[in-house]
Chains A and B, each alone.
Chain A
Amino acid sequence: MPTLSEADSRTLVAKSGITVSEWATATDPNSAVDASRAMGFPVAIKLCGNTITHKTERGLVKLSLTSDDDVRVAAETLLAATTPDDGDVELLVSTMARGDREFIAGLVRDPQFGPCVMLGIGGVLAEVFADVAFRLAPLDRLDAHELIEDLGAQAVLGSFRGQPPVNREALIDILCALGALSDDPTIVSIDLNPLIVVDGLPVAVDALVEHT
C-alpha cells in the first residue's frame, strides 16, 4: 500500500485535531538551519518522502541537534543517504518533544471487524511487550476511556518521574480523532509512533498514513 510522506501524514492527522510536534520542511541544509533557528534548538531532522517508512531502521532520523553545524551536517548526511527508490524527498525539521513516556496509537482496518483504533505502550520495545489494546472505530469517549484502561501498565498513566499524570481527556481526543478518520475510505492505516507525553499531554512526533 502507498504511504503519505511524514509531512503529509502530519498535516492529515493535525487537521483532525491531533497535536503534532512543531515542524517544518526544508529542501536543503541552509533552509533546515533556518527552520531550526525559527523553532529553537534542540531539533530533530528526518528524511521525508512518500515511500520512506522505516526511518529509524535506515538511520534517517537525527535527534537532539543543538546547533547550526549539527543541523547542517545531519541534513547533508540524510540527503546523501537518499536512494533512487526513495523518489522525491525533502527534510523534515521538528522540535524535540521532551518526555519519558511514549505511547503508540493507530488505526487499522481488520478484514473481520473493520476499522479499529489501537493504543499501546510505545518505545523501542513496544512490539516486544505488546501492551496494546483495540476498539472498533468509530469510538465514543467512553469507549476511548475504557481502551486506555485496558492497557496493562496503568502506572505509566499516573505521575511519573516528576512528571504530571497523562491527561486522559487529551488522549481520549486523539483516540476519537483516529476513530473518526476511519470515515475516509482512502485511509488504510495510521501510525502515531510515538506519541511522547510532554507535561502530561501526548504529542505525535511521527505519523505515517497508509492509503489506497
Chain B
Amino acid sequence: MPRDLSSLFEPRGVVVTGVSSHPGKFGFVTLHNLLSCGYQGEVFAVGRENGTVLDQPVLASIEMLPDGAAELLVVCTPVSANEEILRAAAARGVRAVFVAAGGYSEAGDEGAAAEARLVDVANELDLVLAGPNGQGITSPPVGLCAQIVAPFPPPGRIGVASQSGNFVSAFQNYSKQTEVGISRSVSAGNAAATGIADYLEWFADDPQTTVGLCYLEGLTAGREFFERVREITMRMPVVVVKGGATSGGQLAAASHTGALASNDRIFDGMAQQAGMVRATNIESAFEAAATFATQPLPSGSGVLILTTAGGWGVVTADAVTAHRDLTLVPLPDDLLTAIDKMLPPRWSRNNPVDLAAGETRDTIPELLDMVAGHPDIDSVVQLGLGIQGNTAAMTRRGPFYPGHGLERIVGFHDRQERRYAQAAAAASINHQKPVLVASELAVTQPDNPMVAAVRETDRLCYSSADRAVTALGLLARYAAWRRARL
C-alpha cells in the first residue's frame, strides 16, 4: 500500500514552528507564503516572541494549538527542539511534518544521528515525515505554499518530487512562465523517511496529478526503486532527469561487461525498463512533463508537420526523421487530394504540409482538424503561426495607428491567431491526438495573440520545433512502452 500523503499535500490546517518577526528567517517566510497564496485552511504560528507576526498571533508553544486544527506541521526550528515538537504536534492531531530545518545528515555524524532519532519518533507516532533539509511543499490546487522560496506556480497536473530544492524552484519557474501548472511539489530534502518513490506512488493515485516529474541524484535502494517505479509508470508517466550522469563508477570486475558498466548506463537501462521517461536536462524535463499533462498520448509514431511557410517544416522533418521514436508519415493520398482542393498548387504536396502562404481565413483550422482526424497520423506539429499577430503588433505600435484603416486588419490578424491556437487544441481534443504548436514567439514575443491563445487552451507553446519534437518523442516512447505491456 502506498503511504497516504494527503495530510502533507491537502492538510486541514497548517502550523509553522520557528516563526519570528525577522522577515529573513525561514519561519517568517514560510508563514508569509502560507498566508499569501490562497490557502483556505487555518494557519498557526509558533514562536518565542509575544504578539503577532504578519497579523497572526504567535503561539508560545505547540501545546496551545487547538486540538485537530492543523494536520500539517512545517518545522523551521533547529535540530535540538524538533523531537519534542513532533511529539507535542502529534498529540494535537498533526498527521504530517515537513522539516525545512537543516543540520541533519547533510551536516555530519551528529546530524545523521539526530535524523535517525527524528525518523524513529515519526514512525512511533505514525507521522508522515518529509525532509529534513528541504525547501518545502506546494499544492497549487488548494493554494498551499508551504515553502521557504518562490515562486508559487499556477495549479495544474504535474506532480514534482525532487532531490534538489532548487530544481523544484526551476520547475516552478517554468510553470509560471509557460502557465502549464503544477498539482503538487515537494523538495525531498534528505528524504529521511519519505523518498521520491513514496511521492510518485501517491501522485499516481492523486486525482489532481496526471504526470510525475522528478530530479534524482542518488538512490539508496536502487532495486526497490525500480520495482516500485515500474508499477507506477503503468498508471502515470514519470519524467526523470538524473544528476551525476557522467560520474564513472565502473564496476571492479575482470569482465569487459563490468568495465562497460558505468552508473549512467545502468541507470539508463533501469529507467527504460521501468518505463520512466528520461530527459537530458531540466528544461526538456519540464517540457516533457508539461506535454504529458496537456496532450493525449499518441497511439503510434507517425507525425505530420503543418507549416504556413518557410524552412520550419524542413528542419522539423529532419528532426522527426532522425528521431528513433518518431516517423515522418508519407502524406496519405486521400489527404493529398483533399488539400489540393483547399490550396493553390504551389503547396508542398508532401509531409511537411507547407501551405506556401496559400491559405485563406479558414484553411488552417480546417486542415488541423482534417489531418488530426486521419487514421494514419498519430500526432501533428503545427509551425509558422504568429506571423499575422507579429505583423499586427508592429502595425499597432507604428506611427500610423490608429487610422488609415489599420484597426480592421490588426483586429483580423489577432482574431485569426486566436482561431489557429483554438483550432489546434480542438483538433487535439476531438481526435485525441497530440497537436503541438511551436514558435520562437513563445519566448521572443509572449504577448503574441497566438502564443497567448495557446496558453489559454492550457497547453504549452513550444519555443522551437526541436523542443516540440523532443517532447513528442518522449511521449511516443512512453506510449509504446505502455502499449507493449497492456
Within 8 Å of chain B (Cβ to Cβ): is A184?
Answer: no
Within 8 Å of chain B (Cβ to Cβ): is A162?
Answer: no
Cα A208 to Cα B258 in complex, Å, equals 12
Contact: B261 with A108, CB < 8 Å? yes
Chain A positions 166-212 with a Cβ under 8 Å from a chain B Cβ: 188-191, 193, 208, 210
Known: A116-B261, A126-B256, A190-B257. A108 touches B251 (CB 8 A): yes
Cα A113 to Cα B272 in complex, Å, equals 14
Contact: A210 with B226, CB < 8 Å? no
Cα A89 to Cα B197 in complex, Å, equals 51
Known: A108-B251, A118-B261. A136 touches B256 (CB 8 A): no
Residues in A whose Cβ lies below 8 Å from that of B260:
104, 118, 120, 126-127, 130, 132
Chain B positions 244-292 with a Cβ under 8 Å from a chain A Cβ: 251, 253-261, 263, 265-270, 272-273
Within 8 Å of chain B (Cβ to Cβ): is A143?
Answer: yes
Within 8 Å of chain A (Cβ to Cβ): is B150?
Answer: no
Within 8 Å of chain B (Cβ to Cβ): is A80?
Answer: no
Residues in B whose Cβ lies below 8 Å from that of A1:
253-254
Query: Nearest chain-B residue to A105 (Cβ)?
Result: B257
Cα A112 to Cα B257 in complex, Å, equals 16
Instruction: Indicate which residue in A111, A136, A142, A193 contacts B485 across the interface (CB closer than 8 Å).
Output: A142
Contact: A3 with B254, CB < 8 Å? yes
Contact: A113 with B223, CB < 8 Å? yes
Q: How many residues of B contact A (CB 8 A)?
A: 27
Contact: B256 with A133, CB < 8 Å? no
Chain A positions 132-151 with a Cβ under 8 Å from a chain B Cβ: 132-136, 139, 142-143, 146-147, 149-150
Within 8 Å of chain A (Cβ to Cβ): is B107?
Answer: no
What's the nearest-Cβ distance from chain B to residue A121, in Å? 11
What's the nearest-Cβ distance from chain B to residue A167, in Å? 20
Contact: A110 with B261, CB < 8 Å? yes
Residues in A whose Cβ lies below 8 Å from that of B266:
110, 112-113, 116, 134
Within 8 Å of chain A (Cβ to Cβ): is B219?
Answer: yes
Known: A127-B259, A146-B272, A190-B257. A134 touches B265 (CB 8 A): yes
Within 8 Å of chain A (Cβ to Cβ): is B222?
Answer: yes
Contact: B273 with A210, CB < 8 Å? no
What's the nearest-Cβ distance from chain B to residue A10, in Å? 15
Cα A23 to Cα B263 in complex, Å, equals 36
Within 8 Å of chain A (Cβ to Cβ): is B81?
Answer: no
Within 8 Å of chain A (Cβ to Cβ): is B1?
Answer: no
Cα A100 to Cα B256 in complex, Å, equals 20
Cα A150 to Cα B481 in complex, Å, equals 13
Residues in B whose Cβ lies below 8 Å from that of A126:
256, 260
Interface mask (A30-72 → B, CB under 8 Å = 1, otherwise 0): 0000000000000000000000010000000000000000000
Within 8 Å of chain B (Cβ to Cβ): is A107?
Answer: yes
Contact: A133 with B268, CB < 8 Å? yes
Contact: B269 with A191, CB < 8 Å? no
Contact: B258 with A189, CB < 8 Å? yes
Cα A139 to Cα B485 in complex, Å, equals 14
Cα A111 to Cα B253 in complex, Å, equals 12
Residues in B whose Cβ lies below 8 Å from that of A142:
484-485
What's the nearest-Cβ distance from chain B to residue A164, in Å? 23
Residues in A whose Cβ lies below 8 Å from that of B269:
116, 133-136, 147, 150
Contact: A210 with B254, CB < 8 Å? yes
Instruction: Indicate which residue in A105, A127, A146, A188 contacts B253 across the interface (CB closer than 8 Å).
Output: A188
Contact: B254 with A146, CB < 8 Å? no
Within 8 Å of chain B (Cβ to Cβ): is A106?
Answer: yes
Residues in A whose Cβ lies below 8 Å from that of B222:
110, 112-114
Residues in A whose Cβ lies below 8 Å from that of B265:
132-134
Query: Nearest chain-B residue to A152 (Cβ)?
Result: B324
Known: A110-B266, A143-B273. A193 touches B256 (CB 8 A): yes
Known: A134-B265, A136-B269. A110 touches B251 (CB 8 A): yes
Query: Nearest chain-A residue to B227 (Cβ)?
Result: A136
Contact: B272 with A104, CB < 8 Å? no
Residues in A whose Cβ lies below 8 Å from that of B253:
1, 108, 188-189, 210
Residues in A whose Cβ lies below 8 Å from that of B324:
149, 154
Residues in A whose Cβ lies below 8 Å from that of B257:
104-108, 118, 189-191, 193
What's the nearest-Cβ distance from chain B to residue A119, in Å? 10
Chain B positions 306-352 with a Cβ under 8 Å from a chain A Cβ: 324
Query: Nearest chain-B residue to A54 (Cβ)?
Result: B254
Cα A142 to Cα B484 in complex, Å, equals 8
Residues in A whose Cβ lies below 8 Å from that of B261:
108, 110, 116, 118, 134
What's the nearest-Cβ distance from chain A to residue B254, in Å? 5
Cα A139 to Cα B226 in complex, Å, equals 13
What's the nearest-Cβ distance from chain A to residue B219, in Å? 6
Residues in B whose Cβ lies below 8 Å from that of A146:
272-273, 481
Cα A127 to Cα B261 in complex, Å, equals 11
Contact: B226 with A104, CB < 8 Å? no
Instruction: Indicate which residue in B226, B254, B267, B485 contacts A53 across the interface (CB closer than 8 Å).
Output: B254
What's the nearest-Cβ distance from chain B to residue A84, in Å? 20
Query: Nearest chain-A residue to B220 (Cβ)?
Result: A112
Cα A107 to Cα B259 in complex, Å, equals 12
Cα A136 to Cα B268 in complex, Å, equals 10
Known: A113-B226, A134-B265. A190 touches B255 (CB 8 A): yes
User: Could you jot down 10 A-B contacts, CB within 8 Å?
Assistant: A108-B257, A110-B266, A113-B270, A116-B269, A133-B265, A133-B268, A133-B269, A191-B255, A210-B253, A210-B254
- Can you list the 4 inter-chain pairs with the closest CB atoms, starting with the nearest? A106-B257, A134-B269, A112-B222, A113-B222
Q: A136-B269, A190-B255 are in contact. List 6 more A-B contacts (CB 8 A).
A: A1-B253, A106-B258, A110-B261, A130-B260, A190-B257, A193-B257
